[in-house]
Amino acid sequence: MIRQLFKRKNVAAILDESGGFNGGLHRTLSVGNLVALGVGAIVGTGIFVITGQAAADYAGPALTISFLISALGCMLAGLCYAEFAAMIPVSGSVYSYSYATVGELLAWFIGWDLILEYLFACSTVSVGWSGYMQNLLLGWGIELPYSITASTFEHTAEGWTLTGSIINFPAVFIVGVVTAFLLGGIKQSSLANNIIVVIKVSVILLFIGFGLAHIDVSNWTPYVPQNTGEFGSYGWSGVLRGAAAVFFSFLGFDAISTTAQETRNPQRDMPRGILISLAVCTVLYVAVTAVLTGIAHYTELHVDAPIAYAIDQLGGQLSWLSPLIKLGAIAGLSSVILVMMLGQSRIYYAIAKDGLLPQVFSRVNRKRGVPQNATIIAGIATGLVAGLFPLHVLSELVCIGTLMAFAIVCISIIVLRKTQPDLKRPFRVPLVPLIPLLGAAICLLQMVALPWNTWLRLIGWTALGFIIYFGYGMRHSKLRG
C-alpha cells in the first residue's frame, strides 16, 4: 500500500505519451514564442502592482535588493527547470517532473500546489488589472460604482469582513475575455501575447527613460529603512520579506515549462526560453523599482496602480505619459493573465490525463488543439476568486505556492541524478548538488519570511488536496490501475 503511493511514472512512458499528435495538443511554439511567453507572464503584476506595495509595506527603496535575492533564487531554480523541461518535455511542469522522480503521492501534492499557484496568480493579476482600468477610466471622467469594483471580502488583523461590494466586476470581466481567447487555440494566443509584450516593454522603457530625469534622491534615504521592531517591517528582515513577496513576479518561467508539449524543439528551446526571459525581466524589475521609489516616496506606494500614481505625482511634466503607462499596464497585465490561464489549464489537463482528476479535464478540442473543458473550468474558478478576494491575500498565497514548487524542483534534480543517472539530459545543471541545494535553500528561506496566516492557508489548501486524492485520485490513478 505505502509503496503504491510512491510509485513512479517511467520517464520513457512519459516521453512516449508526448510524441506524435500529443493527444490533441499542437507543437507550434518556437524559442522566440517561449521568451515572449516568459516575458509576458513575468513582466506584469510584479512591475505594475507588487513593486509599490512591497516597497511601502516591507523594504522601501531596498526593494531593488529584494528583487536581486529573488532573481538569484529564480535563476538557480530556473537552471533546474531547464534540465527537467529539456529531459521531460510534457505538459504539467513540476507535477510531471515529480511523478517521474518522487512518486505519485508527492506528485499529486505538488500538482495541487501548482493549481493553487496558477489559480491565485491569475486572480491576483486580474485584481491588479481592475485597479489600473479603474484608474484609467477615472482619468477620462468615468467612475464605476464601488459595489462592482472592490472585492467582496477583506482580511485585516481582526479577521475576515464584508466590504459592502457585490463583486470586483472588472476583474471577472477580463478573466472571461481571456478565457474566450484561449479557447481559440495556442497559436492565436501566442500571437496576441507577442504583440502585447512589445507594447508593454516599450511602455516600461519609456517610464524608465523619462523617469530617470525626475528622480529625487532624497526618496532613497534611508535606502534600507529602519526596522519598526516587527519582523518583516523594514530593515533587513523587510528586505527578505520583500524578496518573498516579489517572488511571485518571476512566476512566468514556470509557465513556460507547462507548454513543453506544444513546443517544436523542447529539448533545445525550453532552457533558452526559461533563462533568457529570466535575465531580461530581472534587469527591467530592478530598473523600474529604482525609478519608482526615486520619483515617489515609498510610503505613498501602497496603491493598486503604483507606477500610474508616481507619474501622476509629477503633474504636467509627464502628464502625456500617464495614459500610455496605464494602457501599457492594462495590456501587460492582460498578457500575464493569458499565460497564467494557459498554464493553469495545462496543469488540470496533465493531472486528469493520469486519472488523478476527473477525465472531463483532459478532453481536447481536436480542431483547435486546446484542452477545452480545463480552460473553461479554470476561467470560472479564477473569475470567482478574483471577484471575491483582495489583492494582498491572493499574492501571498501565490508566493508560498511558487516557492514550494521551486524548492521541490531543485531537490528533485538531485534525486533524479542519483536514481536515474543514465537518462538523456540535453541540458545539465552545472555544479550539482551545489546549485540545486542553494536554489532550494533560498526558496525555503523566503517561505519562512512569509506571514504565519499564509502558512495556515497553505496547510488548509493542502489538507483539501489530500482529501481529494484519497477520496478520488488514488482510486482512479491510471498508473496504479
| 132-150 residue pLDDT tens | 888 788 878 999 999 999 8
State yes or no: pLDDT of 331 exceeds 70: yes
pLDDT at position 22 over 60: no
Instruction: Flag whether pLDDT at 311 surpasses 50.
Output: yes
Amino acid type, 465: G
C-alpha cell at 447: 517561505
Asked whether the beta carbons of 236 and 226 are under 8 A apart, the reply is no
β-bridge partners, 161: 154
Q: Give me the pLDDT at residue 173, please.
A: 96
- Please, what are the domains in the chain? 2-6+27-476 (1.20.1740.10)
pLDDT at 21: 41
Q: How confident is the model at residue 24 (pLDDT cuts 50, 70, 90)?
A: low
The answer to whether residues 23 and 364 touch, using CB atoms and an 8 Å cutoff, is: yes
Q: What is the pLDDT of residue 352?
A: 92
Strand partners, 154: 161
Distances (CA, A) of 139 to 126, 142, 149, 324: 20, 7, 16, 12
Measured between alpha carbons, how far apart are the two ends of the chain, in Å?
13
Per cent of the chain over pLDDT 90 is: 28
pLDDT of residue 20: 44
Residues making up the chain, counted from first to last: 481
The pLDDT value recorded for residue 91 is 67
Quick one: pLDDT at residue 17?
Answer: 62
- Rg of the chain, C-alpha, whole Å: 21
**Host H or E run for residue 130:** helix 104-139
E strands, 105-257, are: 153-156, 159-162
To the nearest whole percent, how much of the chain has pLDDT over 70? 94
> Which position has the grid cell 479535464?
361
pLDDT for res 18: 57
Q: Is a pLDDT exceeding 50 seen at residue 430?
A: yes
pLDDT at 183 over 70: yes
The residue ranking higher by pLDDT, 401 or 478, is 478
Q: Give me the amino acid identity at 207.
A: F
293-313: average pLDDT: 86
For residue 228, how many other CB atoms are within 10 A of its CB? 12
* pLDDT at residue 481, as a whole number: 63
Q: Where are the alpha helices (DSSP H) in 140-185?
A: 169-182
pLDDT digits (tens, 9 = 90+) for 210-265: 899 899 999 999 999 999 988 888 999 999 888 877 876 777 667 777 777 778 88
Banded model confidence at residue 442, pLDDT cuts 50, 70, 90: confident
Report residue 263: phi and psi, to 5°. -105, 140
Grid coordinates given for 138: 477615472
A 10 A CB-CB count for 397 gives 26
CB atoms within 10 A of CB 122: 33
Contacts of 321 (CB under 8 A, 6+ apart): 206, 207, 210, 311
Distance CA 229, CA 235 (A): 9
Interval 67-95: pLDDT, tens: 998 888 888 888 898 888 888 877 667 78
> Rounded to whole angstroms, what are the CA distances from 203 to 100, 200, 298?
42, 5, 22
**Per-residue pLDDT tens for 29-44?**
788 888 887 887 787 7
What average pLDDT does range 433-440 have in this prediction? 94
Residue-averaged pLDDT of the chain: 85
Q: Residue 64: what pLDDT?
A: 95
- Selection from 146, 88, 404, 436 nearest residue 251 by Cα: 404
Cα distance between residue 420 and residue 423, in whole Å: 6
pLDDT at 392 over 80: no
**In contact, 171 and 355? CB cutoff 8 Å:** no
Grid cell 514564442 in the structure block, residue = 33
pLDDT recorded at residue 225:
94
Tell me if 406 sits within 8 A of 77, measured CB to CB.
yes
Inter-helix orientation angle 434-448/235-246, to 10°: 110
* Residues β-bridged to residue 156: 159
The residue among 141, 148, 184, 147 whose CA lies nearest residue 169 is 148
Which pLDDT does position 171 carry in this prediction?
Answer: 93
Query: Could you read off the pLDDT of 258-283 as tens digits, one per residue?
Result: 777 778 887 788 888 888 988 888 99
Q: Across the chain, how many H-helices and E-strands are there? A: 20, 2
C-beta separation of 139 from 322 below 8 A: yes
